[in-house]
Amino acid sequence: MDEISLKTITQEASELTNEEWVDISEFMQRFPSRIKRSSGPDYYKTKLLASPFGISFITRAIDSKKKCVGLTTLTKKMFVFDNKYYPAFELGDSYVSKEFQGRGIYSNILREALSHNKFKEVCKFLYSTPNKNSIRGLLKKGFILSNYKIFTKILPLNFSLLLDSFFIRLISNLYLFFVKLLLSLQSKDKNLKIYELNSLNDLPKFEFKNQQIEQHRSVDYLKWRFINNPDKYLIYAIYVKEKYIGYIIFKEGLHKSNDVLYLADLYLQKESLSYTTKAICRIILFNYRKYAFVSTWMSKKSFYWKYLTFCFPVTYKKIPFIIHRDLSNKIFFDEKKPIHFVLSDGDNI
């Protein structure tokens, strides 16, 4: 099919019909994700329709039969710093059908998405964590690489799940013995109490205090991101004695068909940050034999960074984090500001 017959259109997510959501879901299933996640229409509806911060946008290239052959999404978020709120969007799912790749289709999709007036009027921060295949094109469209210093951090756990042999199992069991010992010693604190929650209704009411440049967190945000989302999350409430100090959330995932665990989100009150290492270690201790490894994203400019060194000793790779030069407030380019960015702040998990 000639690319001239394609039509590129940007819509608010609420404008799509159910048939279009199904078509998007079927299109997205052509691009398997490294990280296990849902892929049906309900997943995309939840992500793009139910944000407590407002409506997201979808830009599609459609053929003469109105079938999606390429798309990009702009998921509505909200960032905050110093009690000031900045409507934000994450440039997320960005794909083009294999038969149309290399023909400038995505360039047209991106141009249409970023020039949409309703989107431009409300956007104060536009960011993305692109893969190596798309970053060059995005840098040509007004994005610049940030200095947020976001890295993948890993703690190997039961690696015999990755390579199953008698020798590997033996080495893995010895390794896990020492991991368990170290986690036990590091997390030992009779005042620290951790409870896994079945419902957010069990989460105590408290005020989320802004500490860094970060995703605005609220009960509505948590419900949208972790409860209404069809993916599976493990949510833990953290207490010191009887005082609630915050939460830690993990996501179950797959790596080469093996179960792994991701630290997706954490929030501890600033005066209680010293409990970060102990709390994470204890939660990993609950789960250490079930998963091949546990991993997370974290910015070196975050207050939490120094507390994660023991929990995630291996720095695997740097995550490219890009910000749109003209569609982002100047505060997001201030390299002296502390930045909190974790795995859940990217919507593709």
Condensed to tens digits (0 to 9), the pLDDT of residues 32-67 reads 665 545 556 778 888 899 999 998 999 999 999 999
- Helices (H), strands (E): how many in the chain? 9, 15
Q: What is the CATH number of domain 3-145?
A: 3.40.630.30
Q: In this predicted model, which residue has the larger pLDDT, 134 or 90?
A: 90
Q: How many percent of the chain have pLDDT more than 70?
A: 95
Token pair in block for residue 198: 């079945």
Condensed to tens digits (0 to 9), the pLDDT of residues 92-127 reads 888 899 888 888 899 999 999 999 999 999 999 999
Q: What is the CA radius of gyration of the chain?
A: 21
- Residue 131: its pLDDT value, please? 81
For the beta sheet containing 233-240, the strands, ordered from the edge strand earlier in sequence to the opposite edge, are: 192-196, 233-240, 243-255, 258-268, 293-299, 150-156, 314-319
Q: For domain 150-320, give the fold.
A: Aminopeptidase (3.40.630)
Q: Is the pLDDT of residue 183 over 50?
A: yes
- Of 51, 102, 108, which is closest to residue 74 (Cα–Cα)? 51
What's the rounded Cα separation, in Å, for the pair 183 and 294?
Answer: 13
Token pair in block for residue 338: 């502390």
Q: 3-145 and 150-320 share one CATH topology?
A: yes
Q: Which residue has the tokens 């309703």?
A: 118
Residue ranges of domains in the chain: 3-145, 150-320
- Count the neighbouring beta carbons within 10 Å of the beta carbon of residue 141: 16
Condensed to tens digits (0 to 9), the pLDDT of residues 228-242 reads 887 889 999 999 999
Model pTM greater than 0.75? Answer: yes
Q: Which residue has the tokens 């948590």?
A: 222
DSSP letters for 133-164:
TTHHHHHTTTEEE----EEEEEEE--GGGTS-
- Residue 115: its pLDDT value, please? 95
Q: In this predicted model, which residue has the larger pLDDT, 349 or 233?
A: 233
Q: 241-251 burial, b for 16+ CB within 10 Å, e for fewer?
A: eeebbbbbbbb
